[in-house]
Amino acid sequence: MRMKLDEIARAVDGTLQPATAATLEVTSVAFDSRKLSAGALFVPLQGDRDGHDYLPSAIDHGAVAALWATTRAQSAPADFPVILVADPLTALQQLAQYYLAKINPKVVAVTGSNGKTTTKDLIASIVKTSFNVTKTQDNFNNEIGVPITILAMNSNTEVLVIEMGMDRPGQLHRLSELVTPDIAVITMIGEAHIEFFGTRAKIAEAKLEITDGLQDDGFFVYDGDEPLLANQQLATNPQRFTFGRQGTNDIYPTTITEGDESTRFETNRWQDFEFVLPLIGSYNVNNALAALSVGELLKITPAKMREGLANPALTSNRAEWYEGTQGERILSDVYNSNPTAVTAVLKAFETTKTSGKRIVVLGDMLELGKDAPAMHAELAADFDPEQIAMVFLVGTNMAHLFTALMDRYQPETTLFHYTSTQLPELITTLQQHIAPGDEVLLKGSHGMHLEKVLHALTTPPTTTID
DSSP string covering 296-340: HHTT--HHHHHHHHHS--PPTTSSEEEE-TTS-EEEEE-S---HH
At residue 157, the 3 state secondary structure works out as: coil
For residue 416, give every residue at least 6 positions away whose Cβ sits within 8 Å of its Cβ, in sequence order, or none.
390, 391, 392, 393, 426, 429
Question: How far apart are alpha carbons 165 and 158 in whole angstroms?
Answer: 23
The answer to pTM > 0.85 is yes
Q: What is the pLDDT of residue 466?
A: 36
Q: At what angle do helices 116-128 and 302-310 cross, to 10 degrees?
A: 130
Q: Is 218 labelled as part of a ligand binding site?
A: no
Q: What is the pLDDT of residue 378?
A: 96
Q: Is 113 labelled as part of a ligand binding site?
A: yes
Residue 318 predicted with pLDDT over 80:
no
Cβ-based burial of 313 (10 A; exposed 0-12, middle 13-18, buried ≥19): exposed
Q: What is the pLDDT of residue 80?
A: 97
pLDDT grade for 271, boundaries at 50, 70 and 90: confident
pLDDT tens digit string along 236-269?
889 999 999 999 999 999 999 998 889 999 999 9
CB atoms within 10 A of CB 386: 7
Question: How far apart are alpha carbons 102 and 122 in whole angstroms?
Answer: 26
pLDDT tens digit string along 29-41?
999 999 999 999 9
Q: Is 116 labelled as part of a ligand binding site?
A: yes
Report which of 76, 44, 45 is spatially closest to residue 63, judged by C-alpha positions. Answer: 44
Q: Is 115 labelled as part of a ligand binding site?
A: yes
Which domains, from first to last, does the chain contain? Answer: 3-86 (3.40.1390.10), 105-310 (3.40.1190.10), 320-458 (3.90.190.20)
Q: Is 117 labelled as part of a ligand binding site?
A: yes
Q: What is the pLDDT of residue 464?
A: 41
Omega within 30 of 0 (cis) for the link into 18: yes
